[in-house]
Structure 1
Amino acid sequence: MKPADSSVPLHPLLAERWSPRALDPHAELTDKQFTALFEAARWAPSWGNTQPARYIAGRRGDETFEKLHGTLSRGNRGWAGDASALVLGVARLTNEDGEALPYGEYGLGLATENLVLQAVGEGLVAHQMAGFDRQAARDAFGVPADHEPMVVIAVGAPGDAEQLPDRLREKEAAPRSRVPLAEFVFSGSWQEPTF
């Protein structure tokens, strides 16, 4: 594991969250773990309680997993097949009256972070991917036009980085980094650092 190098202590769920590609190809999620991912997502905050997040989820070996795996970019397809589950995150874009639903993508992001943190709490890891074919996902699952496929999440148990190709193994071993707080939080005016 690679805990965050933070300026103050963080809750372990946050400090331990990262996105490895090395996953245990034999690990399976229990029914309780699988369900808990989506309960966590379901209870995320959303604008006006509109709850715009939708998910399509499959476990390794089932048809949904295979269809999701087939939508991934070549680089992601190489390692994500070892995940215990693949999940497509979809944002609802309109309400029941066909009007634009504000903050749908933001709501999906909040729900997905809840899902990811629940995975960490279960001793699992999750890797979110933009590298997939949205249209292929839409076609494979009949996603309606007023919903947008946004992300695929690989969930599983940590694996052995030695199983990865050299380029990915180097990424796996690299230290985690973020911009410093001085470039991230401002007070008074834009780019006047708070910390």
Structure 2
Amino acid sequence: MAQLPDPLEHRQADHPIEDLFLRRWSPRAMNGEPLAESELMRLFEAARWAPSTYNEQEWRFLYATRDSEHWQTYFDLLTEGNQAWCDQAAVLIVGLSCKVFSRNGKPNPVHTLDTGLAMQNLLLQAAAMGLVAHGMAGFNRGSAKSALNVPDDFEVEVMIAAGHPGDPDSLPENYRDMDLNPSGRKPVAEIARPGKFGF
């Protein structure tokens, strides 16, 4: 039985960083085993400590585990391509952001950014625990808003599938190679430069 590769055998940083950043990647193969409640709460605990503007903490996470009454509702939000591999996830998570400041009701221009920071904390915690956590844009946001009773002052931002690592051979054929080759990154010179825009 094949196993997910160790990202550290496929990725190398150009400058010294913590291994955790290299370990975080987005495989799809999961084995269908449930996450313990304590494991799931550790993911949300990490998200809780993300930085935010005025300490708004404007992110919210809704979730459904495989054995819950809400699983099918969440699963049906996914595009067909994501349903093809999310069927073995232990949990599906929907990330939301509040679009207005709680302190004065004015528009919060960075609600999406702040929720992204919380999501990254969650993903890094999953990597530290040896779990799979894969963020997705491929789902129906309008249906999520309606099906999950999301109020108008919240934006539906992302879905995340999480679970224990599985066998890439269990994936549909068009996804297998992606799970055997952790992706690389552009060099720093292509993403950071001094002064004015010159990319």
Fold-level match, TM-score > 0.5? yes
Equivalent in the alignment of 1:112: 119
Count of residue correspondences: 191
Select 2:145's aligned residue among 129, 138, 144.
Answer: 138
Q: Offset at 1:172?
A: 1.9
Equivalent residue, structure 2, for 1:59? 65
> What whole-Å deviation, never above 9, does each CA across 1:47-84 have from its counterpart, x for those lacking one?
11011101101211212332111100000011112111
| Post-superposition offset of 1:40 | 0.8
**Does structure 1 residue 85 correspond to structure 2 residue 91?**
yes
Letter in 2 for 1:174: N
Map of 1:21 onto structure 2: 28
User: Where in structure 1 are there 5+ consecutive unaligned residues?
Assistant: none
Q: TM-score, normalised by structure 1?
A: 0.92
What is the Cα-based RMSD across aligned positions, in Å? 1.5
8 Å CA contact 1:47, 1:102 repeated in 2? no
C-alpha distance in 1 between matches for 2:30 and 2:111: 30
Report the counterpart of residue 168 of structure 1 in structure 2. 175
Report how far residue 35 of structure 1 moved.
0.8
1:8 aligns with 2:15: yes
Letter in 1 for 2:34: E
Given residue 163 of structure 1, which amino acid in structure 2 is its aligned partner?
A: S
Asked if the contact 1:183–1:191 (Cα under 8 Å) also holds between the matched residues in 2, the reply is no
**Alignment-mate amino acid for residue 26 of structure 2:** S
Instruction: Give the Cα–Cα distance (whole angstroms) in 2 for the partners of residues 174 and 116 of structure 1.
Output: 19
Match of 2:76, SS state, is helix
- The structural deviation recorded for 1:175 is 4.6
**Any idea what the Cα deviations from partners look like across 1:104-154, whole Å, max 9, x if unmatched?**
000100000011111112221200000000011111110001101110001
Counterpart of 1:191 in structure 2 is: 198
1:50 has 2:56 as partner: yes
SS across alignment from 2:7? coil
- Return 5+ residue gaps in structure 2 as ranges: 1-5
Distance 1:35 1:175, change over 3 A: closer
Distance in 2 (CA, whole Å) between partners of 1:12 and 1:64 is: 36
Structure 1 CA distance for aligned equivalents of residues 168 and 65 of structure 2? 22
Q: Is the 8 A contact 1:88 1:149 kept in 2?
A: yes
SS of alignment partner, residue 79 of structure 1: helix
SS in 2 for 1:126: strand
CA apart distance, 1:103: 0.7
Distance 1:72 1:179 in 2: 29
Runs of 4+ residues over 6 Å off in structure 1: none
**Overall identity of the aligned pairs, in %:** 38
Distance (Å, rounded) in 1 between the aligned partners of 2:172 and 2:83: 13
